[in-house]
Structure formats: C-alpha cells, structure tokens
Amino acid sequence: MSMILPNSTIGMLGGGQLGRMFVSAAHDLGYRVIVLEPDPYSPAGLIANEHLVAAYDDVDAIIQLAQGCDVITTEFENIPAHVLDTLSASCAVHPKASAVEKAQNRIVEKAFIRSCGLLPVPYGSITTYSEIAPAIDKIEFPAIMKTARFGYDGKGQCRVDSLDEVKQAYRDFEQQHCVLEQMIDLKCEISVVLARNEAGESCYFPVAENIHIDGILHQSVVPARVDDDIAQSAQVAAKRIADKLDYVGVLAVEFFITQKGELLINEIAPRTHNSGHYTMDACITSQFEQQVRAICGLPFADTSLLSPVVMTNMLGNCWDLSEEKPALNWSAILGSTKSKLHLYAKCDARIGRKMGHFNTLATTNKEALQEANRIFTQINEA
Ligand code: ATP
Ligand code: MG
C-alpha cells in the first residue's frame, strides 16, 4: 500500500471521545480530519476540520465524506456495516465492514472467537423463546443476559439466577436476540490493544489490567499484575483474531482470567479502547497515533512503556450534580503533579457518562494506583 502522507484528509465515523483523541493525534501528524456525527456538539466534531452533522447512513453525507477523504476509519462500533461497504467503493476504509460486523453482534462474535480456536465465556444464544431451555443447558447459574446488539458500558445486560428470570429478562429486552453468559468468578480482567496494517504486520501495546465498577471500566493498571505467560497468551490470541479478520486499524480484545487461571475472551472492540488511554502519557506512541499510522500505511512507532501508569475514568458521578452548574473538585486532580487530565468537552455531566480520564505515572504501578486512588477519593468527597 502506498502511504497516505501528512496533509491528507482522514474521515472519522463517529464523534465521541475516541474520535476526539484520534483527531488530536491526526492533527499532531499534520492530517486534516472530517467527522461524520449526528450530534452537533460531539467531542470530536468540536475540534475536527470539518463536521458533517448527519446520520451515519445519510446518503448525501456519505458521498460528501467519501469525496473529501483519502482514507476513512471509525471510532464507534455500531456504524452500520453497509455504510462501510458503500464508502469502500470510492475510498479506502479501515477497518472493513466484514471485520466490524463480527463485533456488532455478540452471537456472531462468540462463534467467531470459537472459529479462531479461542475460548469465549460459556454461553447459549437466544433468538427465539424456544432457545431459552437449550441455552440454560449450556451454562450454570448465576448468569448474565446480554442483548446481542448495541450494548456498551454494561447497558443491555442483566443478572439472572433461574429459568424464570431468563424468561423475564427476554421479555424485558423485548425479545431481542440475546446471549446468556455464565457469570465468571473473575481473578481479574485484562485487555490487549493492537494495531495491524494492510501488509499484515501487527504491533501490541503492553497488556492492561482492568478494574470495573458496575460493569463500567474504572481503572487500567499497567503493567498488568498477571504472569508473563498469561499476558503473552493474550497477545497471541489478540493477534490471531486480528489476522483472521484481516484487520487494518486498532483493535482491542477484552479477556477474563478465571480463578483457575483460565483465559477467556470477553469481547472484541474494532476500534481504539478505553483501556488503551494510558498510552497517551505512558508510551512514546498513543493508540490514537498508531491508528493514524495503521490506516495511512505509515510505519508503526514504538509502543513500549515509558513508565508504570494507572488510567482512571472520570464519570459524570465525579461532578457535584446538585448545582445548576455541575462542579468538580479541580484542585484534587490539577494538584497532582504526576497525573495528566484528559477531558472530552461533553457539556452535560450525567451519572455513568464518561467525561474524561486521568493518567497517573509513578515508579511502580503500586505507587501509581495509590496516588490515583487518593485523587479519585478526593474528587468524590467534594
Ligand atoms: P464495554 O463495551 O463498555 O466494554 P459492554 O457493555 O460490552 O461494555 P461487557 O464487556 O460485556 O459490557 O461487560 C462489562 C463488564 O461486566 C465486564 O468487563 C465485566 O467486569 C462484567 N461482566 C460482563 N460479563 C461477565 C461475565 N460473564 N462474568 C463476570 N463478569 C462479567
Ligand atoms: Mg466490555
């Protein structure tokens, strides 16, 4: 592939925080970015060179995007696959529709994980009422019902403990296709973020250990506190997935490690990932710069870790929402000389909404975690 050089124009489907951080990285390398996003005040749209305010499948906007760009990528995994296909008729699009599509439906995704010779969480799929009983035979309670499509940050999920609760959850989800997943007794969670180019070369970032609260990522600790062989197995599994998808761009794979030390694959994200935000301050190259490099055919840059780091998410919950103008304990975060704050310029702070994150660097990941927790506690005490 010939290189798409700086001064060229990149199209970004989606205007969220992942898009915003991509736009910054692309600007640093001298690219222009056109964002397609229906929300007129989106984090990425606000800083893009051009913002097409239209639905992702708006035909006129798609034509305009394809005509104005040298290459197009995505930050949002639910871009309709047919849109990626349409765009690819007249412009380079990475990742391609067939790769993104696999991660858009949990039933398809889990079958794909198996086809790679890897282990998903034990599950049964439910697409009709009559599939409830066979699905239950495949798992042990407690379990989690998840809608097959459009879940994020733990939404579209509910814990179930009996046949009756599965039936109720299926009704509550209005009989959408679902997976019934066994609840895993987790030792910990890790993720691998990697970049792959058209030549099939890939390049990993260090494995992150992820701490969730209420199904939402709270912190990523790097280096992950897991054995090297587990970390390596996860990287090999992620590469196998990327190769099998013939993936171009940045991809993340989320893993569960069971109490017995077994490595299971939770899910695949065909985009940059929240657990890769630590790379912005703790690696020479961020996941967003590597996304630019992967889709433009530039050589990959170094991904090694410069310092132990903890990334902490700031949800709307950190703001004092009782006032008309929500307030944050700014001194807690701005006073930490070893932390870098990244806010996404979202106007409304809401419970559970990702507003920003901070990366805390220290000599060890233990010290980074202590400092990050100290700041986080202070923010929430305000
Ligand atoms: P996101 O896209 O933001 O990662 P999501 O809505 O796709 O989230 P999942 O990754 O499926 O959600 O689940 C979110 C978190 O909930 C997991 O990282 C894990 O902490 C917990 N969880 C989900 N499924 C299971 C399970 N089967 N067993 C144990 N914990 C689980
Ligand atoms: Mg997840």
Question: Measured from the CB, is residue 209 less than 6 Å from ligand 1?
Answer: no
Ligand nearest to the CA of 146: 1
**Alpha-carbon span 253 to 256, nearest angstrom:** 10
State residue 243's pLDDT score.
98
Question: Measured from the CB, is residue 267 less than 6 Å from ligand 1?
Answer: yes
User: What is the Å distance from ligand 1's center to 209 Cα?
Assistant: 14
Q: Give the containing element (helix H, strand E) for 332.
A: helix 330-334
Strand order in the sheet with 9-13: 50-52, 32-36, 9-13, 71-74, 92-93
Domain ranges of the chain: 9-93, 122-182, 186-380
> Which residue's CA lies nearest to atom 19 of ligand 1?
215
User: What is the Å distance from ligand 1's center to 277 Cα?
Assistant: 18
Q: Point out the ligand 1 atom lying closest to the alpha carbon of residue 157.
A: 6
**250 near 294, Cβ under 8 Å?**
yes
**Alpha-carbon span 298 to 49, nearest angstrom:** 22
Q: Could you say which of 3.30.1330.60, 1.10.1740.10, 3.30.1490.20, 2.60.40.420 is the CATH number of the domain covering 122-182?
A: 3.30.1490.20
Per-residue pLDDT of the chain (382 residues; tens, 9 = 90+): 689 999 999 999 999 999 999 999 999 999 999 999 999 999 999 999 999 999 999 999 999 999 999 999 999 989 999 999 999 999 999 999 999 999 999 999 999 999 999 999 999 999 999 999 999 999 999 999 999 998 877 788 999 999 999 999 999 999 999 999 999 999 999 999 999 999 999 999 999 999 999 999 999 999 999 999 999 999 999 999 999 999 999 999 999 999 999 999 999 999 999 999 999 999 999 999 999 999 999 999 999 999 999 999 999 999 888 777 778 889 999 999 999 999 999 988 999 999 999 999 999 999 999 999 999 999 988 5
State residue 291's pLDDT score.
98
User: What is the Å distance from ligand 1's center to 189 Cα?
Assistant: 10
Question: Measured from the CB, is residue 144 less than 6 Å from ligand 1?
Answer: yes
Question: Measured from the CB, is residue 142 less than 6 Å from ligand 1?
Answer: no
Does residue 251 sit in helix, strand or coil? strand
State residue 382's pLDDT score.
59
**Alpha-carbon span 179 to 149, nearest angstrom:** 10
Question: Measured from the CB, is residue 212 less than 6 Å from ligand 1?
Answer: yes
CA distances (Å), 242 to each of 95, 144, 211, 300, 333, in order? Answer: 10, 27, 24, 16, 37
User: What is the Å distance from ligand 1's center to 276 Cα?
Assistant: 17
State residue 281's pLDDT score.
98
**Alpha-carbon span 75 to 79, nearest angstrom:** 9
Of the candidates 214, 149, 135, the one whose C-alpha atom is nearest the C-alpha of residue 182 is: 135
Of the candidates 284, 382, 302, the one whose C-alpha atom is nearest the C-alpha of residue 335 is: 382
Question: Measured from the CB, is residue 153 less than 6 Å from ligand 1?
Answer: yes
Of the candidates 333, 290, 328, 291, the one whose C-alpha atom is nearest the C-alpha of residue 312 is: 333
Total Cβ atoms within 10 A of residue 15: 28
> Which residue's CA lies nearest to atom 12 of ligand 1?
154
State residue 346's pLDDT score.
94
* Residue 252 bridge partners (DSSP): 193, 269
Rg (CA), the chain: 21
Instruction: Give the β-pairing of 186-196 and 249-258.
Output: antiparallel
Q: Which amino acid is at 377?
A: T
Ligand nearest to the CA of 187: 1
State residue 110's pLDDT score.
98
What is the CATH topology of the domain spanning 9-93? Rossmann fold (3.40.50)
**Alpha-carbon span 74 to 37, nearest angstrom:** 11
- What is the assigned CATH class of domain 186-380? alpha beta
State residue 88's pLDDT score.
96
Q: Point out the ligand 1 atom lying closest to the alpha carbon of residue 151.
A: 6
State residue 225's pLDDT score.
98
> Which residue's CA lies nearest to atom 9 of ligand 1?
154
Q: Point out the ligand 1 atom lying closest to the alpha carbon of residue 186.
A: 29
User: What is the Å distance from ligand 1's center to 250 Cα?
Assistant: 20
Question: Measured from the CB, is residue 189 less than 6 Å from ligand 1?
Answer: yes
**Alpha-carbon span 35 to 88, nearest angstrom:** 16
Ligand nearest to the CA of 109: 1
Question: Measured from the CB, is residue 122 less than 6 Å from ligand 1?
Answer: no
User: What is the Å distance from ligand 1's center to 144 Cα?
Assistant: 9
